Amino acid sequence: MNVEKGYVDEPIEEGIDLREEILRLKRERNAVIMAHYYQREEIQQLADYIGDSLALAQLAAKTDAPVIVLCGVHFMGETAKILCPDKTVIVPDLSAGCSLAESCPADKFEEFVKAHPDHTVISYVNTTAAVKAVTDVVVTSGNAKEIVGSLPQDEKIIFGPDRNLGNYINSITGRDMLLWDGACHVHEKFSVAAIADLKREHPEAKVLVHPECPKPVRIMADKVGSTAALLNYAVDSDSKEFIVCTESGILIEMQRRCPDKTFIPAPPEDGTCACNECEYMKLITLEKLYNSLKFMAPTIEVDAAIAERAVKPIQRMLDISRELGLIK
């Protein structure tokens, strides 16, 4: 089996029905397929669960299935493996990385943490296991505001790696958290001018913005929130039109849940496309998913010493989220 490229690079039998075969193999392996909202439509359709980062972590922690196939990016698979060390966790293409996680090298982050020993360290889930290992509590965009808010107002906090999410949380909680200077290349490249044009064309449309976007985009928002929060807002809203400023994969579930509403993807600055896609998320294809189940590879492995430290802040996030009623 050839996995040199990060995925099982083996020929696929001619004429097979990939969807049927994936479902058959899933049953045979007793596997559960989880997919992030940014995944390709055909992957979302096959998944047992789709969700945001918080939901995927929670589902991984709860599942009885011995095999988790996580259709998302590497840090999501790592989080699942850290929570379930005895399970087999597969990400069908291990090169599905994350520019935000990459913007925070563990050695540099550890130096930063050591330089501020009186600070509590909060890390976004979009980080490597090694960064989580020097973290006190992990957050996602679905619980960051509440988790930061649950700490005493005068607590000194380091927040990494997303400067935009950190800035946003500072602005809504009145905190002065020390921010790591990282960002997601997808959420940073929305065009403010194009969003303003869309708003002029669709004056009734609500603007939905992920907090990984910079302030000039966030201030145009009717709703700032995680992918799940934006989805729920669209479902509950009386409005019929929405301009969506996050990775365009979320539009699939928005449209499925709200067939009578119109969702308009906000475009990136470079004008290359009407949508803004995360190329890492789109690396997961039906072919790679099929081969990953067939060969039970590539699996996520996390160094045991790192996992032992990293599990604590992830578990703390889940415990606080449960206490605050954010998850069940």
Site string for ligand SF4, 60-89 (x = CB under 6 A): -------------x----------------
The answer to whether the beta carbons of residues 32 and 68 sit under 8 Å apart is yes
Residue closer to ligand SF4, measured from CB, 46 or 184: 184
List 99, 123, 140, 143, residue binding ligand 13P (CB under 6 A): 140
Least Å distance, CB 142 to ligand 13P, is 6
Residue closer to ligand 13P, measured from CB, 188 or 212: 212
The answer to whether the beta carbons of residues 156 and 118 sit under 8 Å apart is yes
Structure tokens at 315: 């578990």
141 contact choice in ligand SF4, ligand 13P, none (CB below 5 to 8 Å, kind-dependent): ligand 13P
Q: State how far the Cα of 215 lies from the Cα of 183, in Å rounded to an integer.
A: 12
Segment 168-187, which members bind ligand 13P (CB under 6 A)? 184
Q: State how far the Cα of 101 lies from the Cα of 131, in Å rounded to an integer.
A: 9
- Residue 103 engages ligand 13P in binding (rule: CB under 6 A): no
Stretch that binds ligand SF4, among 83-91, 181-189, 215-223, 231-239 (CB under 6 A): 181-189
Tokens 């957050």 correspond to what residue? 139
130 contact choice in ligand 13P, ligand SF4, none (CB below 5 to 8 Å, kind-dependent): none
Residue closer to ligand SF4, measured from CB, 78 or 212: 212
Q: State how far the Cα of 51 lies from the Cα of 44, in Å rounded to an integer.
A: 10
Q: State how far the Cα of 116 lies from the Cα of 135, in Å rounded to an integer.
A: 13
Residue closer to ligand 13P, measured from CB, 230 or 297: 230
The answer to whether the beta carbons of residues 220 and 202 sit under 8 Å apart is no
Kindly write down the DSSP assignment for every residue of 226-264, as one continuous string.
-HHHHHHHHHH-S-SEEEEES-TTHHHHHHHH-TTSEEE
List 247, 263, 265, 289, residue binding ligand SF4 (CB under 6 A): 247
Tokens 């935009």 correspond to what residue? 164
Number of residues that bind ligand 13P (CB under 6 A): 11
| Bridge partners, residue 241, by sequence | 262
- Residue 276 engages ligand 13P in binding (rule: CB under 6 A): no
Stretch that binds ligand SF4, among 26-34, 95-103, 163-171, 299-307 (CB under 6 A): 95-103
Helix (H, G, I), strand (E, B) or coil at 42: helix
The contacts of residue 49 (CB under 8 Å, 6+ apart) are 32, 33, 34, 35, 55, 56, 59
Segment 13-72, which members bind ligand 13P (CB under 6 A)? 52-54
Q: State how far the Cα of 316 lies from the Cα of 135, in Å rounded to an integer.
A: 11
Q: State how far the Cα of 240 lies from the Cα of 242, in Å rounded to an integer.
A: 7
Kindly write down the DSSP assignment for every residue of 180-215, as one continuous string.
--B--TTGGGB-HHHHHHHHHHSTTPEEEE-TTS-H
List 58, 141, 143, 321, residue binding ligand 13P (CB under 6 A): 141
Segment 113-132, which members bind ligand 13P (CB under 6 A)? 126
Residue closer to ligand 13P, measured from CB, 126 or 292: 126
List 281, 297, 302, 327, residue binding ligand SF4 (CB under 6 A): 281
The footprint of ligand SF4 (CB under 6 A) covers 73, 98-100, 126, 184-187, 212, 247, 278, 280-281
List residues near ligand 13P by CB under 6 A.
Answer: 52-54, 126, 140-142, 184, 212, 226-227
